[in-house]
C-alpha cells in the first residue's frame, strides 16, 4: 500500500515568515498534486507536477517534485493570513489506475 506522509502536521507562524511543508513517500508517483482546503469547504487544486525535478510557482507559493518522483515540497514566501488552511498532497498511483493517494495534510495557521 502506497503512503504519503506530510510534515509537519501542524504549523503556526507569524505573517511575513517563510515556511516549507513536505510530502514524502517510499513509492514513485506518476504525478503529485497540492490542494488547499479551508474550513467548511472542499479541497481546491493548487498545482499538479508530473516531471521529476519540476518546479512550479504560483505567486508566493513554490512547488517542487523530487527528482525520483517520490517526494514534493511546498514553500510559501512571506506568508499571509489568507494562506491559512489545510494543505493536502495527493499522488497518482501508477499501480492502481492512477488513483490518487492522499496525505493527511498540514494544517497551517498564519497569525496577523
Partner 1 sequence: KAGVTQTPRYLIKTRGQQVTLSCSPISGHRSVSWYQQTPGQGLQFLFEYFSETQRNKGNFPGRFSGRQFSNSRSEMNVSTLELGDSALYLCASSLTSAPQETQYFGPGTRLLVL
Interacting residues with partner 1 (CB under 8 A): 4, 9, 30-31, 40-45, 48, 50, 88, 90, 92, 97-100, 102-105
Least separation, in Å, of the C-beta of 18 and partner 1? 25
Residue whose CB is less far from partner 1, 22 or 102: 102
- Based on CB atoms, which residue is closest to partner 1, 48 or 73? 48
Query: Between 44 and 68, whose beta carbon lies closer to partner 1?
Result: 44
C-alpha cell, 56: 512550479
CB closer to partner 1, 45 vs 78: 45
**Distance of closest approach, residue 13 Cβ to partner 1, in angstroms:** 21
Within 8 A by CB and 6+ apart from 97, the residues are none
φ, ψ for residue 96, nearest 5 deg: -130, 50
| E-strand stretches of the chain | 5-7, 10-14, 19-24, 32-37, 44-49, 55-58, 61-65, 71-76, 85-93, 99-102, 106-111
Report the nearest approach of partner 1 to the CB of residue 45 (Å): 6
Amino acid at each position: 500500500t502506497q503512503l504519503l506522509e506530510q510534515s509537519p502536521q501542524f504549523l503556526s507562524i507569524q505573517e511575513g515568515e517563510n515556511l516549507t511543508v513536505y510530502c514524502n513517500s517510499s513509492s514513485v508517483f506518476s504525478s503529485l498534486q497540492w490542494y488547499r482546503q479551508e474550513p467548511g469547504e472542499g479541497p481546491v487544486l493548487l498545482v499538479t507536477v508530473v516531471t521529476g525535478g519540476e518546479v512550479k510557482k504560483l505567486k508566493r507559493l513554490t512547488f517542487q517534485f523530487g527528482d525520483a518522483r517520490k517526494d514534493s515540497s511546498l514553500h510559501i514566501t512571506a506568508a499571509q493570513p489568507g494562506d491559512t488552511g489545510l494543505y493536502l498532497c495527493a499522488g497518482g498511483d501508477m499501480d492502481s489506475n492512477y488513483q490518487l493517494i492522499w496525505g493527511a495534510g498540514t494544517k497551517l495557521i498564519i497569525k496577523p
